[in-house]
Chains A and B, each alone.
Chain A
């Protein structure tokens, strides 16, 4: 239906569907791509937004040597179709009626379902306190940079912090490095406030970030994770 380039290697695709029910932000869809030859393969993608009736958006990061992501990021054109199942997964989802503080920790394209939650929060007019800690390799790879800046500038209950792992902009307060316990301690609420934590990204990132949250005293029951896999495609 529509497509927007997000970065040099990522694109948001907007799809219309015949039916779309029960959506909660954080959920994903299972897509199946079939070639003319009959070969088909399936992948899961987190929904990035679903504000309009019967429309949803996916933000896809191109994985080097990937089978599906290069097609979705570079080739798929307006009018093209694919099979979709979902939305699925009530577990890794933000219940919009909850007033609990929400801590979102995303690595790379792991920010996609977290962005869906931030967008849904705006859409329903929730004032639940939200903090996003977003780890990306460099400025060029940050998704939704302008939108995140706009949303957090106009809402003092939404705080967005960027952590860079490979290269940071000149003058940036924090030198590039992997996310650490100190980062999370500085950039989120203390465990005593019992925020719900949602951690999403590649397996290695999710593994370390959740261990750090546990070390900071967050209860395991308050942490929900979504691992994308070792590489993502």
Chain B
């Protein structure tokens, strides 16, 4: 998929990404619920998908979640000694299902 980087259309290759499910553990730690079924709306393109269906990158300093459609960042989480940092920047909204339940 391509996104505009201001002046240039840039092709973003998500072929190395995992399914968001792989990031569910990290986000579940931050939120205290099973995060895999959280419904996310991308602020960049409006695409809506459960967290488990977005694209996850788990090998960075933290875990990055990208929109499945446009590859924009929709969430980040990082566990550090000071605690678990969570950013939802890039998302329009996150909706936790009514009985999200506790993580296993």
Interface set of A (CB-CB < 8 Å, partner B): 20-23, 27-28, 30, 44, 85-92, 203-204, 207, 224-230
Contacts and interface: CB of A to CB of B under 8 A. Distances in A.
Contacts of B101: 22, 90
30 contacts: A20-B104, A21-B104, A22-B34, A22-B102, A22-B103, A27-B104, A28-B22, A30-B25, A44-B22, A85-B25, A86-B25, A87-B104, A88-B25, A88-B28, A88-B34, A88-B36, A89-B25, A89-B36, A90-B34, A90-B101, A91-B21, A203-B17, A203-B18, A224-B52, A224-B53, A225-B19, A225-B53, A226-B19, A227-B17, A230-B15
A207 B17 CA distance: 11
Contacts of A88: 24-25, 28, 34, 36, 103-104
Contacts of B22: 28, 44, 226-227
A23 B102 CA distance: 12
A87 B24 CA distance: 10
B15 A207 contact: yes
Interface in B22-58: 22, 24-26, 28-29, 34, 36-37, 50-53, 58
A129 to B, nearest CB: 24
A128 B76 CA distance: 38
Contact of A203 (B15, B20, B21): B15
Contact of B21 (A22, A85, A226, A229): A226
Contacts of A27: 104
Given A23-B104, A88-B34, A90-B34, A227 B25 contact: no
Interface of B: 15-22, 24-26, 28-29, 34, 36-37, 50-53, 58, 101-104
A218 to B, nearest CB: 15
B25 A44 contact: yes
Nearest to A19: B104
A185 to B, nearest CB: 25
A98 to B, nearest CB: 16
Contacts of A87: 104
Nearest to A47: B104
B24 A89 contact: yes
A91 B36 contact: yes
A89 B15 contact: no
A86 B16 contact: no
Nearest to B101: A22
Nearest to B97: A90
Contacts of A44: 22, 25, 58
A82 B101 CA distance: 26
Contact of A89 (B16, B21, B29, B58): B21
Contacts of A28: 21-22
A228 B18 contact: yes
Contacts of A90: 34, 36-37, 101
A-B pairs, 6 with minimum CB distance:
A91-B52, A91-B36, A87-B104, A30-B25, A22-B104, A88-B25
